[in-house]
Amino acid sequence: MYGDRADEGLLEKIARVGRAIPGFLCNLPVRVVLRRALGALYALGRSVKSILTMEALSDVLLEHKLPHTVWLLGVRYTLAPPPMGQRGEGRETEQTVVDESQNFKLDMWSRLWFSYRYNFHPISGTELTTDTGWGCMIRSGQMLIGQALVHHHLGRDWRLSHTSKYNELPSDYRKVLEMFLDHPCAPLSIHSFVRAGQQVGKKAGTWFGPNTVCSAFSKLHAGGALGSDNNLQLLAYDGNDGDNTIYKSEALELLQAGPLFILLPTRLGVSSVDPSYIPKISHVFSFPQSLGFIGGKPSSAHYFIASQGEAVYYLDPHTPQPLINISEKESV
């Protein structure tokens, strides 16, 4: 969750529901109706052709015959089906609902998508040159943290152009991207998360749970990973004591020093998500401060960013891709 002012009403709402709200790091995935990975990766100055394209998103939208509402990280979109003639049904119907599908797709396109990588520098003390099979929760956490930083520096309304060249992007955006490079020196790289995880007893090459990702980022944040000129405050719960209630007084005190980033690990059921939580999970995406949440089980974690009723949209980190060469300054 991201807050740039003391929104007492929102904090009271969160404090009331306590652990029933899925927070922003989640042990188990919610019930997913639209089982597709959506989004696009802006690849630090080089062209990227991915199996995850906006065509897949268009296919999802065409499946609906009635207008429907989607909440994407606090922004509401009304998505209307095309006239029947455009769906190949042979006749036109009057389109009476304003269709925001293109705006929705551009918003999706503008989200950061991080995935498995290979051929990076070996993680210290190991021969690991890929995180395939064990790094999906870390990648999901990187996406959530990256979204928080983009929101913090550029605002929620900023959008990525399909034709932008790397050196034409805002400098703040480039700085955020470079924090996540898969290099030992990058402050939020896979290497940095593994080092921080080792401090809490997690071995390199093993799957991180949400609590470990949260604890690792807390250590990186405390160590100055965001830079001395970044005033983003962090309120992170490790989830180990079972009490993840957000106390309004604590949050409001931190907000006096700058915008606040809240991470709240929680478990939404024993072996599966309790159905009573699903409406609450969906409602989280309508909060203007929402950054979505990450969740999963070993070797299966995702970043959930939007809801449509009881269905959710997510970004999938399970596509192995080669290391990005930052020296290549091409267009997306």
Highest mean pLDDT out of 29-33, 205-209, 248-252: 205-209
Contact 136, 301 (CB under 8 A): yes
Give me the residue spans of the domains in the chain.
2-322
Q: What is the mean pLDDT of residues 259-281?
A: 84
Write the pLDDT tens digit of every residue in 129-177: 999 999 999 999 999 999 999 999 999 999 998 777 888 899 999 999 9
What pTM was estimated for this model as a whole?
Answer: 0.79
Closest of 13, 14, 27 to residue 262, by C-alpha: 14
Residue 332's alpha-carbon distances to 39, 158, 171, 224, in angstroms, are 14, 17, 16, 30
Instruction: Report, as residue numbers or ranges, the catalytic residues.
Output: 136, 316, 318
pLDDT, position 190: 97
Contact 152, 198 (CB under 8 A): no
Tell me, what DSSP letter sits at residue 203? P
Distance between CA atoms of residues 107 and 56, nearest Å: 15
Q: Which residue has tokens 């070996």? A: 122
CA distance from start to end of the chain: 29
Distance between CA atoms of residues 180 and 138, nearest Å: 11
pLDDT, position 166: 84
Write the pLDDT tens digit of every residue in 12-54: 333 333 222 233 333 333 333 323 222 222 222 222 223 334 4
Distance between CA atoms of residues 268 and 292, nearest Å: 15
